[in-house]
C-alpha cells in the first residue's frame, strides 16, 4: 500500500509544533518529562474552547498545523482520530462522581468522555462535514491509525488527516494503565503521485506492508526519543517523525494485530 506524506505535526515534551520540533527531532533531543500544554484551540467557539480537555487540545493543535502545512482547508479533510485509551482524566472525574451517593454526571463531562470527542470538536471547529473515524487499539493504536488512514487514501483517492494523541491517566487509573508524557502527532496523507498542494513543500513517499508473525518493534534511533516512544503509545510514531525531520529514507516496523506493519519512507531527492 502506497501513499504520500504531505505534512506532519507533533506536540509533546519540548516538542511544540513541527517548526520548533523538527530541529530537536533531528538532534534526538526531547525533554525527560512534563511538556507544554497546548493552548485552547482557537478554531473552537468560546464555550467549546473552555470545555475541551487536554486530549482534545492536543489532537486539535496537531490537526490544525498539519492541515495548514499541507495547504488543505480543514473543512475539506476527512480524518482518522486515534487514542490508545481516550481521555482518562474525564473518565476519572465521572467515576468519582458516580462513587458519591446520588452523584449526578454532568452532560458536558459525559460528552467529553466518549472516544470520538476530539473528532467531534474538529468537525465543529473546522466546519468539517467530511468523514471522520475514531479508533483505539491499545498500545498498537499508532500503527492502526496509520494503516486506516493510508487505506482510506488508497480506497478513496483523496487526502486524509491522521491524528494520534495520548495523555497520562490520573491515579488510581494510572496503576492499571500507565501512560507516559502527553503526546500527539498528525500527518496528512495523499494519493501516491498526485499533485502537491500549494502549502506542501515536499512529498515523502510512504509504503506500508503487513507482515504476519510477532516481531519486536523498531524504536527511534535517539535514546531520548526511544524512551518517550516506549512510555506513551501515540509516541510510537516518533521513529517516523524522526526520519521525516532528518529527510532520511527509512524502513522500520510497528507491531499490529499479531504481526507487524512494515513502514518505508522515501523522501524526494
Q: What is the CATH number of the domain that holds 195?
A: 3.40.47.10
Q: pLDDT averaged over the chain? A: 87
In a domain, 249, yes or no: no
β-strand partners of 17: none
8 Å CB contact between 204 and 4? yes
Considering its fold, how many domains does the chain have in total? 1
CA atoms within 13 A on the CB side of 146: 32
In a domain, 119, yes or no: yes
In a domain, 230, yes or no: no
pLDDT in tens, 208-249: 999 998 777 899 999 989 999 999 999 999 999 999 999 999
Q: Which DSSP state fits 239? A: H
Beta-strand pair 79-82/160-166? parallel
How does residue 198 score in pLDDT terms, banded at 50, 70 and 90?
Answer: very low
What pLDDT is stored for residue 250 in this prediction?
A: 96
Task: Tally Cβ neighbours within 10 Å of residue 106.
Answer: 12
- Burial code (b: 16+ CB inside 10 Å, e: under 16) for 30-52 equals beeeebeebebbebbeeebbebb
In a domain, 61, yes or no: yes
CA nearest neighbour of 93 among 121, 36, 53, 131: 53
In a domain, 46, yes or no: yes
Q: What percent of the chain has pLDDT over 70?
A: 90
Residue-number span of the structural domain to which 104 is assigned: 7-201
In a domain, 258, yes or no: no
CA pair distance 78, 66, nearest whole angstrom: 13
The answer, as to whether pTM is greater than 0.85, is yes
What number is the average pLDDT over the span 154-164? Answer: 96
What pLDDT is stored for residue 39 in this prediction?
A: 76
Residue 88 has pLDDT above 60, yes or no: yes
For 67, residues 6+ apart whose C-beta sits below 8 A from its C-beta are 7, 73, 74, 77, 126, 161, 188
Residue 155 has pLDDT above 90, yes or no: yes
What number is the average pLDDT over the span 7-35? Answer: 86
Amino acid at each position: 500500500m502506497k501513499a504520500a506524506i504531505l505534512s506532519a505535526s507533533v506536540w509533546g515534551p519540548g516538542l511544540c509544533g513541527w517548526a520548533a520540533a523538527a530541529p530537536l527531532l533531528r538532534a534526538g533531543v526531547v525533554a525527560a518529562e512534563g511538556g507544554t500544554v497546548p493552548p485552547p484551540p482557537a478554531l473552537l467557539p468560546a464555550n467549546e474552547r473552555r470545555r475541551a480537555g487536554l486530549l482534545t487540545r492536543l489532537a486539535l493543535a496537531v490537526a490544525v498545523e498539519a492541515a495548514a502545512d499541507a495547504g488543505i482547508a480543514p473543512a475539506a479533510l476527512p480524518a482518522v482520530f486515534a487514542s490508545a485509551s481516550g481521555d482518562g482524566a474525564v473518565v476519572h472525574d465521572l467515576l468519582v462522581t458516580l462513587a458519591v451517593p446520588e452523584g449526578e454526571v454532568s452532560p458536558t463531562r459525559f460528552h467529553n468522555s466518549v472516544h470520538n470527542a476530539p473528532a467531534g470538536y474538529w468537525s465543529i471547529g473546522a466546519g468539517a462535514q467530511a468523514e471522520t473515524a475514531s479508533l483505539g487499539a491499545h498500545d498498537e493504536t499508532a500503527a492502526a491509525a496509520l494503516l486506516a488512514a493510508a487505506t482510506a487514501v488508497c480506497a478513496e483517492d483523496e487526502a486524509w488527516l491522521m491524528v494520534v494523541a495520548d495523555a497520562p491517566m490520573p491515579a488510581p487509573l494510572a496503576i492499571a494503565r500507565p501512560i507516559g508524557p502527553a503526546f500527539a502527532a498528525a500527518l496528512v496523507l495523499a494519493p501516491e503521485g498526485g499533485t502537491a498542494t500549494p502549502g506542501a513543500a515536499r512529498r515523502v513517499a510512504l509504503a506500508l506492508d503487513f507482515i504476519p508473525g510477532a516481531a519486536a518493534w523498531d524504536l527511534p534511533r535517539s535514546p531520548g526519543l526511544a524512551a518517550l516512544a516506549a512510555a506513551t503509545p501515540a509516541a510510537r510514531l516518533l521513529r517516523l517523525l524522526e526520519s521525516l525531520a532528518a529527510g532520511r529514507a527509512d524502513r522500520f516496523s510497528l507491531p499490529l494485530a499479531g504481526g507487524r506493519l512494515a513502514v518505508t519512507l522515501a523522501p524526494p531527492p
